[in-house]
Amino acid sequence: MNILEWMQQFAQNAIQNNDKQRLQLVSFAQQGDIIREAQPEIAYQIYQTGRDLAESLSEPCWIMFFAQRMAHVCIFELEDLDRAMSLVTRDYVLSTKDQYVHCPINPAIRRNLVETYLYYDPVGYVDKIIEVIVYLRQSEASDEYATLQLDDFLAQLHLKRNQLDKALDYALRTLDDGYGYLTLTRIYWERGDYEEALKISELRLEESKFSRYMVADAQAWVAAMLMRTNGNQDIAKSYHEQAARQVANINFVPNSTLFDALADYHELSGHPDKALQVRDKQLERQNLVAGPEEILIVRFRRARLLGRMGQTQKLEAQLADIRSHLHRVKKPAHYENMLHLIESGFYSDVIWEKL
């Protein structure tokens, strides 16, 4: 039984038994899911209330359901990876106990663990990430959507490790229903394959109908890649302006992919100063709980931009800032190699063949 079927069956039983408390569990789940993009912290509190009620009613699968949602909103909308890390490790252990092992949400609990490691410190936790993915492949072999997710996780893992041939191989496996468009757009961009990045970002824009954030992100990438490929600049400008307006109205912290596209557009339009303003705003909005990998990558992007702009003093300050965060990752040598490239005067964001 999948999660939706389980919830529907649970709700039907509660209605038949006139069990208002258990119906409230379903209501809390729906309320949190509806508002999580616009009001993620309130959604988190709703999920916590739901979990508390589930515990009082001795409903183990609802305890795990709300636990999964609490961690997921931390990973994505709140981008609070410190909080997510404590939640996913607790939830993973809990999911292995006898009263919880049958819960349909458990695969999602394990995917939460993969995603948190992947966005927190993918180089440091590479063995853990692969271990859980192998387990999920074995336990969800018949689930096509789960297979797409796992291939996308591996594509992202290799992307974050600058292994872009492997990243591309896994990403191309995810395209049957458009699941991996964002990952593939980034892989092509970081490879310098801008024509391909444009094609995929345009396909993603066609698919991104239901999330304001996803639409803005897709618009920003189409705009930047049109500039990269000498496409229609009027269309690029229109998409860029639409994306920028959307970003201004998004309550949660957008991840680095959106800022990469916005900054890229300005630099390619001949306004590196505006690109730097985007990077500065990105740093202002970034939470230091976002996870060390995200914190470092954002600073690397800004440092390379400063190098291309010839702003030596600001570049030195940014490099010092990067060094101050290296202690937070388990394997700093990976990031030190990226730092050495910048110190040697290599300022391109296409670095994968240099490492």
Q: What is the pLDDT of residues 78-111, one digit of tens each?
A: 889 999 999 999 999 999 999 999 999 999 999 9
Would you state the pLDDT for residue 84?
Answer: 95
DSSP notation for 213-234: HHHHHHHHHHHHHHHHTT--HH
Q: Is residue 309's pLDDT more than 80?
A: yes
Would you state the pLDDT for residue 212?
Answer: 78
* Banded pLDDT at 50 (limits 50, 70, 90): very high
Q: Is residue 285's pLDDT more than 90?
A: no
* Banded pLDDT at 177 (limits 50, 70, 90): low
> Would you state the structure tokens that stand for residue 242, as one six-digit string?
């639409």
* Banded pLDDT at 178 (limits 50, 70, 90): low
* Banded pLDDT at 255 (limits 50, 70, 90): low
Share of the chain above pLDDT 90, in %: 80
Q: Is residue 251's pLDDT more than 70?
A: no
1-119 folds as: 1.25.40
- How confident is the model over 235-250, as pLDDT tens digits? 999 999 999 998 777 7
Would you state the pLDDT for residue 142?
Answer: 72
Q: Is 266 within 8 Å of 308 (Cβ atoms)?
A: no
**Of the candidates 36, 58, 60, 56, the residue with the CA atom closest to the CA atom of residue 46:** 36
**142 phi and psi, to 5 degrees?**
-90, 0
- How confident is the model over 150-162, as pLDDT tens digits? 999 999 999 999 9
Q: Measured in whole angstroms, how far is the alpha carbon of residue 74 from the centre of its chain? A: 11
Domain ranges of the chain: 1-119, 121-179, 201-280, 286-355
Question: Residues with Cβ < 8 Å from 192, sequence gap 6 or more?
Answer: 350
Would you state the pLDDT for residue 328?
Answer: 95
Mean pLDDT of 57-64: 98
Q: Is residue 254's pLDDT more than 70?
A: no
Q: Is residue 56's pLDDT more than 80?
A: yes
* Banded pLDDT at 304 (limits 50, 70, 90): very high
> Average per-residue pLDDT in the chain?
93
Range of lowest pLDDT (40-49, 116-125, 173-182, 264-273) = 173-182
Question: 122-131: string of b/e by CB count within 10 Å (b at 16+)?
Answer: bbbbbeebee
- How confident is the model over 127-152, as pLDDT tens digits? 999 999 999 998 877 788 888 999 99
Would you state the pLDDT for residue 77?
Answer: 86
Would you state the pLDDT for residue 252?
Answer: 58
Mean pLDDT of 36-42: 91
Q: Is residue 280's pLDDT more than 70?
A: yes
Would you state the pLDDT for residue 207?
Answer: 85
Q: Is residue 227's pLDDT more than 80?
A: yes
